[in-house]
Chain A
Amino acid sequence: MNTINHRGVMLRKTLIATVVASVLLAACAAAPVKPDGAAEARNKLTQLQSDPNLASRAPLAMKDADTAVRLAEQPQADKDLAAYRVYLADRKVEIARAQAETSLAEDQRAALSAQRESARLDARTRQADVATREADAARLAAASSAQAAVSSEQAAENSRQQAAELQRQIDVLQAKPTDRGLVLTLGDVLFENGRADLKPGATGNLNKLVAFLNEYPDRNVAIEGFTDSVGSEDYNQGLSERRADSVKSYLTRQGVGAMRLSASGRGKSDPVASNDSAAGRQQNRRVEVIISNPPAASR
Chain B
Amino acid sequence: MNATPPAHCGSRLRMAAGITGVLILAACASTPPAPTASLQAAQRAISNAERTDAGHYAPGELSEARTKLASADIAVKEQRMVMAEQFADESRVEAELASAKTADVKAKAVNDEMTHSNGTLIEEMQRNSGDKP
Contacts and interface: CB of A to CB of B under 8 A. Distances in A.
Which DSSP category, helix, strand, loop or mixed, fits chain B's interface? helix
Interface stretch (B7-15, B19-27, B28-36, B110-118): B110-118
Interface in A82-138: 84, 87-88, 91-92, 94-95, 98-99, 101-102, 105-106, 108-109, 112-113, 115-116, 119-120, 122-123, 126, 130, 133
Contacts of A106: 107
A126 B124 CA distance: 12
Interface in B68-108: 82-83, 86, 89-90, 93-94, 96-97, 100-101, 103-104, 107-108
Contacts of B124: 123
Contacts of A101: 104, 107-108
A235 B111 CA distance: 112
Nearest to B113: A112
The size class of the interface chain A forms with chain B is 20 to 34
Contacts, number: 77
A102 B104 contact: yes
Contacts of A270: none
Contact of A105 (B93, B108, B118): B108
Contacts of B93: 87-88, 91-92, 95
Contacts of A108: 111
A113 B83 CA distance: 49
B48 to A, nearest CB: 13
A112 B107 CA distance: 12
A98 B101 contact: yes
A116 B111 CA distance: 12
Given A80-B83, A92-B93, A105-B111, A119 B121 contact: yes
B116 to A, nearest CB: 10
B89 A88 contact: yes
Nearest to A133: B132
Given A98-B101, A119-B118, A119-B125, 8 more contacts: A88-B89, A92-B93, A95-B96, A101-B108, A109-B110, A116-B121, A119-B122, A123-B128
Interface of A: 61, 80-81, 84, 87-88, 91-92, 94-95, 98-99, 101-102, 105-106, 108-109, 112-113, 115-116, 119-120, 122-123, 126, 130, 133
Interface of B: 82-83, 86, 89-90, 93-94, 96-97, 100-101, 103-104, 107-108, 110-111, 114-115, 117-118, 121-122, 124-125, 128-129, 132
